Structure 1
Amino acid sequence: MATAFIFPGQGSQKVGMGKELAENFASARAVFEEVDDALGRPLSKIIFEGPEEELTLTENAQPALMAVSMAVVRVLENDFGVKIADHARYLAGHSLGEYSALCAAGAFTLDRTAKLLQTRGRAMQGAVPVGEGGMAAILGLDLGEVEAVAKKAAGGEVCEVANDNAPGQVVVSGHIGAVERACIIARDAGAKRTVMLPVSAPFHCSLMQKAAEAMAWALGEASEMPATVPVVANVTAAPESTPAEIVDNLVRQVTGRVRWRESMAFMAGEGVDLFVELGAGRVLTGLVKRNAPNAEGMAVGTPADIEKLAERLKG
């Protein structure tokens, strides 16, 4: 059995996530305390108690999701004796989840990862005035068809593919009018469904250029180490491990496409037959069968989940 650990992105957050871990394991509590200290504010209180609208803010959701993923990692390693580096062929994360993967691989410290994600969230939120941008999921068309739809819908504005999540599940991002036009054009082209997403900014498109510049500066200040496990990058759908590659890919990722379908296909092609989602929710687990039909997906976010995974990996 070859295992890849995958880490969720924005949208998987939920008030109360990680609370059971913190209540049961000192190692998990330490993660939330370290993130609070790094940010200089009680993010854990928002994670555990809400309110939901505050947790959903991009600058909170991004470090919060990473904190929950890393709490799972720490409990798995410190309390159950299962080291990520000993069992993972690859790591990967969806959008902000790539930072969680890099933290788990030792490329960034926990406190640095929290600060980077707070900066990233604020920069992405501030890159485009609220209401000017949007994102939409287009279901039932393949990537090439959605690229054609986006190009036709742009009309002098920005409309680009942001996430290639799975066959028949592609997300476009850009100016709100262009994205709305894309939904109409897509339905006329045979899309089964289009869904405007409840996001506060148009992520992973060229409108995020100011945010990319902010992250280039922030990452330039980061002290990073080579990853102990290859991390499959969103923008290349290939494993990267050197500090220079990691920084370059994270800067490009802000405006670039999340190539999740290709990333999953690459890992499956390398023999991965178990994808373990560490953290909140099971969004990525739900995409496993669509991207890697012969592989198994497993969501791990609670003490019971961790115990089950540890028993399995220890054989």
Structure 2
Amino acid sequence: MRAFIFPGQGSQKVGMGAELAAASAAAREVFQEVDDALGQKLSAIMGEGPEDTLMLTENAQPAIMANAIAVLRVLEREGGISLADKGDCVAGHSLGEYTALCAVGAFTLADTARLLRLRGLAMQAAVPVGEGAMCALLGADIDKATALAEAAAQDEVCEVANDNDPGQVVLSGAKGAIERAVAMAKDLGIKRGVLLPVSAPFHCSLMKPAADAMDEALKRVPPQPFRLPLYANVTAASCTDPEAERLLLVQQVTGRVRWRESVLAMKAAGVDRFVELGGKVLGPMVSRTVEDVTVTSVVTMADIEALAKEL
């Protein structure tokens, strides 16, 4: 069985999509459609920067999605590959869940771009800049990370945001609590804690205003039936019902990204091939989480051509 997976924030970089756009009309059409939907030349920011503009959450989220969907469209059109025929399920990390839903027909490309722009703006607006923070814990399993979050909180928000793989967990919350967590990490047997260069504390209870904004947006633009099951971040379980998924997307804004558990659940369901489209971030996480699987990350035209031959 094969799962197609889609990366989240942090995989953006200046130059993303430029090679694909130069080589493929299918990719150019994706970038143009996203530009038109947003009323902005996002593709130019992706290709040329400036970096600080691309890194803004409201730009990074639709950019990462557009890049992954461009890879998918080139694969489908020029490789003659149908995701629904070649895949058994999909999943995405944080905003990547929206990309996955776009890939299987739950959202149009234009609606996905607009939803992610709104999501990025709402998440940024939920907490004043400088009041929230996130840190990555290296060499930490979920139990150690949870214990550290509880110890560092001291009446402030400090929560597990991403359970990425057996040795990497991300905490999110109030700046003071996250700084305490970094300082205390080694005391709890964690290799080290590293502050992340993010502009807001994603996936924690401080994001409640953003969850409310997405609840309203997803009532106006709800997911439609999708062609393959999706493993949702907040449940680490397969979902096929559009209304259930709408509610899960709202919960995802404040909820934990249970990526490690999602990978384990897909493996338990029989998935032995994972294909990451549009990034090279999730593949290593999968490899650190499960054994006896094939992991492929697809970004360039050469990657796409190689995958098309394999499929």
* Band of TM-score, shorter chain: over 0.9
**Any idea what SS the aligned residue of 1:136 has?**
strand
**Any idea what SS the aligned residue of 2:99 has?**
helix
Correspondence 1:29-108 to 2 at 5 A: 29-108=28-107
Q: Which residue of 2 aligns with 1:248?
A: 247
TM-score (norm 2): 0.98
Would the aligned equivalents of 2:17 and 2:47 in 1 still touch at CA under 8 Å?
A: yes
Would the aligned equivalents of 2:144 and 2:190 in 1 still touch at CA under 8 Å?
A: no
1:191 aligns with 2:190: yes
- Aligned AA (1:162): A
**Any idea what SS the aligned residue of 1:294 has?**
coil
Among 268, 280, 293, the residue aligned to 1:295:
293
**Any idea what SS the aligned residue of 1:297 has?**
strand
Q: Which residue of 1 aligns with 2:307?
A: 309
Whole-angstrom distance in 2 between the partners of 1:73 and 1:168? 30
Would the aligned equivalents of 2:222 and 2:246 in 1 still touch at CA under 8 Å?
A: no
Which stretch shows the higher mean deviation, 189-198 or 112-121?
189-198
Whole-angstrom distance in 1 between the partners of 2:287 and 2:7? 16
- Compute the displacement of 1:223 (Å): 4.4
- Aligned AA (2:301): P
- Compute the displacement of 1:21 (Å): 1.0
Would the aligned equivalents of 2:7 and 2:64 in 1 still touch at CA under 8 Å?
A: yes
- Compute the displacement of 1:23 (Å): 1.1
Whole-angstrom distance in 1 between the partners of 2:43 and 2:121? 18
Compared CA separation, residues 160 and 223, structure 1 to 2 (3 A) = closer
Whole-angstrom distance in 1 between the partners of 2:228 and 2:274? 15
1:212 aligns with 2:211: yes
Which stretch shows the higher mean deviation, 54-63 or 294-303?
294-303
**Any idea what SS the aligned residue of 2:144 has?**
helix
**Any idea what SS the aligned residue of 1:48 has?**
helix
Which stretch shows the higher mean deviation, 178-187 or 251-260?
178-187
Q: Which residue of 2 aligns with 1:129?
A: 128
Would the aligned equivalents of 2:15 and 2:46 in 1 still touch at CA under 8 Å?
A: yes
- Deviation track 1:214-270 (CA, whole Å, cap 9, x = no partner) reads 000111100431110011000000111211011101000000000000000011111
**Any idea what SS the aligned residue of 2:88 has?**
strand
| Identity value in percent | 60
1:269 aligns with 2:268: yes
Q: Which residue of 2 aligns with 1:170?
A: 169
Would the aligned equivalents of 2:222 and 2:243 in 1 still touch at CA under 8 Å?
A: no
Which stretch shows the higher mean deviation, 221-230 or 68-77?
221-230
- Aligned AA (1:188): D
Would the aligned equivalents of 1:59 and 1:118 in 2 still touch at CA under 8 Å?
A: yes
1:234 aligns with 2:236: no
Among 282, 285, 289, the residue aligned to 1:284:
282
Any gaps of 5 or more consecutive residues in structure 2?
A: none
Whole-angstrom distance in 1 between the partners of 2:272 and 2:145? 29
Indicate the RMSD between aligned Cα atoms, in angstroms. Answer: 0.8
- Aligned AA (2:115): L
**Any idea what SS the aligned residue of 1:161 has?**
strand
TM-score (norm 1): 0.97
Would the aligned equivalents of 1:288 and 1:296 in 2 still touch at CA under 8 Å?
A: no
Whole-angstrom distance in 2 between the partners of 1:223 and 1:195? 37
- Compute the displacement of 1:185 (Å): 2.2
Q: Which residue of 1 aligns with 2:8?
A: 9
- Deviation track 1:90-148 (CA, whole Å, cap 9, x = no partner) reads 10000000000000010000000000000000000110000000000112222112111
Would the aligned equivalents of 2:181 and 2:193 in 1 still touch at CA under 8 Å?
A: no
Any gaps of 5 or more consecutive residues in structure 1?
A: none
